[in-house]
A and B are shown apart, each in its own frame.
Chain A
């Protein structure tokens, strides 16, 4: 053993690390952390507030009877609580996050800084409009970029997320049908079976009936099936189609699809979740689209935040623009920006209001900051790099994994589980990726491919990072093909082993409760 002059050992000795249990529950840097309710008390606080004066209350007796009993933490306790929990999360800032259809790209910190300028973060949605001219101008500037990039004449800025944007677009279609006097007869919305679940859910939410269309062998809309569905056309409200689609492919026949839908008297809703593949290369307005939401949290890098907030501005064609929801920003002749909030005047045909106030301003600031940083040239380059990265992954992995469709992909590479040995599933491959230090790809979606694995690297990855990822996944894929049973137990190296989702759903525990006292044990 080597030692220094104080007799302290200076080089490690080899000791087996298998199943070392610790008293604290922590494992080195990975700290155990109990629930807030197990460590705090209702008296503890991390906020110093002045003492109340003792004014007699004017609540007329409408006062809370039972205190919340919620525990608090002092500031250092709270900081540690959340820091320790944060370390149990994977994040883009740690590494490649190839969740297909989610566009987990780098979130620039400049965007965060700009959103926190008091002139954006500390203004009230209902303060006089003369005091928020810069905010209205910003909304208008972002709207101009979105309209120009899509070649669409109008955009509704208020939708709160992608699915909310779908709701916006489908409500605009519904309103157009009302104006045509056909809302009661045109109920059928065509949706490919490969669509995001939000599409059929949205259509139904807007009072429509979903009619599924099949995919062909190339992963695109089956034109024969589409034409058959359109033979009876007087009940067609429209189509909801993702492009590039959920298989990561550009819909080759998209213009013909748009023409067929329009000829049938319907409208074309495009799910813009995959816009990141085509910004600066293709404008949806040139494809015959009538409405499309843009996920600012995907394409324009506003942070995903562990599940939101998102933002889903929805561009509208000439045919649907009159029905856009309130509020929207207009610029008056005197150069002043104004919010149109009521259904009258220029908004007299509006389908209504979707939400309180004016949309996700905080996300608008971040998205515009991102857009200005990239510019027209950078946005195009970003899309091309995203597509190049996905094709590189596809090219490297198709030797060991099964690519269900021939040809190049757009910004995401799709594989099926056909290459795996009996008993090894997509989920096992996904969980093994966790041990390699990566977030898994999207699993079991789209539904049209068995055991689907949808990999979206985005433009934020270097070639070296892609190579490391491909090396890891390639090795896992080989093990899966050989039927390596060890995959079934993965992950082994994550903060937790595989979690029991069935148990969680069988008897749901959705909040913390004081543990019941153990029944007294009778003395013998």
Chain B
């Protein structure tokens, strides 16, 4: 076994030192009826690298990689180019094979990058403070809702009609378990501002998304104003972090909590995970936050250093009174995020955002020119919804035969909302003019 250093002699010598006859002695507390003899039945024995690699490669070959052809799927995860340097950095052993920086004297690498990550996320979202990451955007959204109920001592949360349905589901689950009422507004392509009318003086927070699941960008300022007028908070959600380079960020709209998915910066698609949840808020709310926070301090010689801080909010100190049960978060994905962001710089991100927007504009123009196609999203960043004269699932299947992954059918995300003829699609800096032309041509053939 290539991963096990002990030799048979070592084992014998160690048992001797311990004074045990065999390892069976250590398992003497296991109830007799639950002790296994031999190995677990029905499972194969160990294999060499080559054999394992063959098996895994065979499985991988059954999947169509996004970069293998024209690819237009978005709706919460996005195909972006990640610089080679980012992957090199996150594969450094010192980052990859360490854990939560419980011993700051030998974890300044992780801690300083987290401090830089928090600063970047706060700047991108235009919020006062950010934490050291959550599992992903959807769980960050759920935690934001619960945090708002703690901060306001109210028990009602209102979700916009454009909030990603998976985010809505994760939020409902966490809230309902704690007796928090969740009101879901009607699904609508351009409905974020309806939150302003829905908020009342029982509301802890309203949750709006821009760009929303249909791609619509909205200035949520009127929602923030209405919410604050009723003593409620605005939670502002995004699933496409690159949009922050161009689109009005949560802090400029008066958001109290900003949450979103950071996958777009530094992280691959990975079939949905691991991703990195971004979580930021106003200074006033910092002690209500979930998750790890990294803060500046000094060491015994007065040198600047960083530590995990405000841990009295957390489960390992507060136990049943903690702000959240989160422990392990998404450290390495946060490192990928901050490394990519560092390579881009503020100007670079802005440029990348513009390129995304331009690609989406070109895609919209090309598809709109196909007879029967109707673009439904009024204002968009890099994704939008369109209607076809046919069933969307059938259209996507035919596009697939033409080697094009054309998007997500809206009915997959919004079953029961009569959106059977709607497709959600996205373009990024990876989308080429040839991809767009191929999409439009194939669509014209199909419908």
Contact = CB atoms under 8 A, between A and B. Distances in A.
A410 B26 contact: yes
Nearest to B364: A58
A196 B320 CA distance: 11
A10 interface: no
Contacts of A495: 105-106, 108
A361 B273 contact: yes
Interface string B17-43: 111100101111111011110011011
B279 to A, nearest CB: 12
Contact of A89 (B94, B332, B345): B94
A96 to B, nearest CB: 11
A360 interface: yes
A459 to B, nearest CB: 6
Interface stretch (B67-75, B153-161, B194-202, B222-230): B67-75
A307 B343 contact: no
Given A286-B34, A504-B297, A391 B18 contact: yes
A131 B99 contact: no
Given A46-B85, A93-B97, A304-B99, A498 B300 contact: yes
Interface in A325-366: 341-342, 351-363, 365
B19 to A, nearest CB: 7
Contacts of A408: 18, 20, 25-26, 28
B295 A355 contact: no
B252 A374 contact: no
A84 to B, nearest CB: 8
A131 B396 CA distance: 12
Contact of B112 (A33, A201, A249): A33
A198 B325 contact: yes
Contacts of B314: 197
A359 B272 contact: yes
A58 B361 contact: yes
A66 B435 CA distance: 33
B116 interface: yes
Interface residues of A, number: 204
Given A205-B174, A376-B39, A509 B29 contact: no
Contacts of B122: 511
A123 B325 contact: no
Nearest to A256: B31
B95 A124 contact: no
A232 interface: no
A52 B351 contact: yes
Given A303-B97, A361-B272, A500-B299, A88 B118 contact: no
B99 A163 contact: no
A164 B287 CA distance: 22
**Which of A57, A59, A206, A210 is packed against the most chain B CB atoms within 10 Å?**
A59
A281 to B, nearest CB: 6
A352 B172 contact: yes
B30 A125 contact: no
B91 to A, nearest CB: 7
Contact of A120 (B60, B218, B362): B60
Given A89-B109, A124-B73, A510 B45 contact: no
Interface string A250-287: 11101100000000000000000000001011110011
A445 B108 CA distance: 23
Contacts of B39: 280, 376-377, 380
B166 interface: yes
A392 B109 contact: no
Contact of B42 (A148, A278, A303, A362): A148
A132 B108 contact: no
Contacts of B76: 125-126, 356-357
Given A87-B109, A500-B297, A373 B46 contact: yes
A395 B18 contact: yes
B52 A372 contact: yes
Contact of A250 (B30, B85, B294): B30
B77 A134 contact: no
Contacts of A519: none
A319 interface: no
Interface in B234-289: 244-249, 252, 261, 268-274, 276, 286
B94 A93 contact: yes
Given A90-B98, A463-B13, A309 B331 contact: yes
A73 interface: yes
A135 B163 CA distance: 27
A121 B269 CA distance: 6
A307 B331 contact: yes
B5 A387 contact: no
A404 B289 CA distance: 37
Contacts of B60: 114, 117-120, 134
B149 interface: no
Given A462-B5, A508-B295, A512-B115, A85 B173 contact: no
Contact of A57 (B17, B328, B330, B357): B357
Interface in A59-101: 59-73, 75, 78-79, 81-83, 85-94, 97, 99
Given A90-B98, A442-B102, A505-B312, 15 more contacts: A36-B342, A58-B361, A64-B244, A113-B53, A119-B60, A132-B271, A161-B135, A171-B177, A197-B315, A207-B178, A249-B29, A381-B1, A462-B5, A496-B299, A511-B119
9 contacts: A42-B347, A88-B94, A99-B102, A126-B413, A280-B40, A309-B330, A378-B46, A495-B108, A509-B296
